[in-house]
Amino acid sequence: MAILLDGKAMAAQLMADLQGRMDALRAQGISVGLAVVLVGDDPASQVYVRNKAKACQELGIYSETIRLPQETTQQELEALIDRLNQDDRFDGILVQLPLPRHLNEAAALRRILAEKDVDGFHIENAGKLFTGQNGVVACTPKGILHMLKAANVPLSGKEAVVIGRSNIVGKPVAMLLLNENCTVTLCHSRTADLAAHTRRADILVAAVGRPRFVTADMVKPGAAVVDVGINRVDGKVVGDVDFEAVERVAGYISPVPGGVGKMTIGMLMENTIEAAERKAR
Ligand code: GUN
């Protein structure tokens, strides 16, 4: 049976560490703030945004969630971002994705000051990750690396296979694994014979968005399997990995819920506190 990559327990530990950093900032008279922008009424985004605000509250981070209607224009969204860039109460600004389809996501993300980009989605931060410079790293990829390292999963020289090539998860996590000296394969919807790739993986990251997509026959015995999926099936949340079957084959596995998602929010809190610490220096 696989060892559980317990995101809930790891995130609790992380939040305790972050509480200490918050105390240190408070002792210097420094407050920390996060602005979250939600455009439209995507039900999943509503849940994520609420969880982010809850985590801020737990740590004593000042947070505001700004809700804009579905029909918001690019100009209105960017005007709001400009205001938040200027607002000293906010060390971090997060625009919840996906945006409604009529909006230009890349332009909106570029509008956020790179030093306030706690999601690591600004091209400056993405470019820094790509070129091996210190910048803000996207929360989910950073959380995945944190989980693997906390469990002492060997990385250097190992085969890592990532399924999914999004800017939010697939591409940045591939880059982080490469920085850890993994040999990285980035698979996607057009990959021929996906299972031939996944079966070679010592570390397998599934960010596909399809329920129970990764089956036991696709997993190398002993592999570390990280499930990034959040899919709703018959009112139940399931990941991209067929957990019950894969946990019998894998060496490590992250559950859904209680896995990567918990770490993502923890890393968002860390990126926000880091932005305040940077500003203080
Ligand atoms: N949508 C899905 N994941 C994320 C994330 O990490 N940040 C933002 N802003 N939107 C998301």
Give buried/exposed letters for 76-86 (b at 16+ CB in 10 A, else e).
ebbebbeebee
pLDDT of 116 reads 98
| Lookup: tokens for 96 | 């919840």
Q: Whose CA is nearest to atom 4 of ligand 1?
A: 97
% the chain with pLDDT above 90: 100
Q: How confident is the model at residue 87 (pLDDT cuts 50, 70, 90)?
A: very high
Task: Spell out where 217-263 has E strands.
Answer: 224-227, 231-233, 236-238, 252-253
Smallest CA-to-CA distance from 39 within 79, 63, 70 is with 70
4 alpha carbon – ligand 1 mean position (Å): 24
User: What is the rounded average pLDDT of the residues 87-93?
Assistant: 98
Look up residue 229 and give its DSSP letter: -
pLDDT of 255 reads 98
CA 264 to ligand 1: nearest atom: 6
User: What is the rounded average pLDDT of the residues 183-200?
Assistant: 98
Q: Give the pLDDT confidence of 213-261 residue by residue, as tens digits.
A: 999 999 999 999 999 999 999 999 999 999 999 999 999 999 999 999 9
Q: Is 70 a catalytic residue?
A: no
How high is the mean pLDDT of the chain? 98
Give the active site residue among 6, 91, 117, 119: 119
The answer to whether the peptide bond before residue 69 is cis (omega within 30 degrees of 0) is no
pLDDT of 32 reads 98
User: What is the rounded average pLDDT of the residues 136-148?
Assistant: 98
Q: Whose CA is nearest to atom 11 of ligand 1?
A: 97
Q: Is 52 a catalytic residue?
A: yes
CATH 3.40.50.720 for domain 139-261, yes or no, is: yes
User: What is the rounded average pLDDT of the residues 74-84?
Assistant: 98
pLDDT of 64 reads 98
Q: Give the pLDDT confidence of 19-48 residue by residue, as tens digits.
A: 999 999 999 999 999 999 999 999 999 999
CB 110 within 8 Å of CB 124: no
Q: Is 91 a catalytic residue?
A: no
Q: Whose CA is nearest to atom 9 of ligand 1?
A: 96
User: What is the rounded average pLDDT of the residues 177-190?
Assistant: 98
User: What is the rounded average pLDDT of the residues 108-117?
Assistant: 98
96 alpha carbon – ligand 1 mean position (Å): 5
Asked whether this chain's domains 29-115 and 139-261 adopt the same fold, the reply is: yes
Query: Cα separation of 25 and 39, whole Å?
Result: 32
Q: How confident is the model at residue 17 (pLDDT cuts 50, 70, 90)?
A: very high
Q: Would you tell me which CATH number, out of the four given (3.40.50.1820, 3.40.50.10860, 3.50.50.60, 3.40.630.30), belongs to the domain 29-115?
A: 3.40.50.10860
User: What is the rounded average pLDDT of the residues 161-166?
Assistant: 98
The CA angle 145-222-192, to the nearest 5 degrees, is 80
pLDDT of 217 reads 98
Give the active site residue among 6, 52, 116, 242: 52
Pocket of ligand 1, beta carbon within 6 A: 94-97, 119, 139-140, 168, 264
Give the residue extent of every domain in the chain: 29-115, 139-261
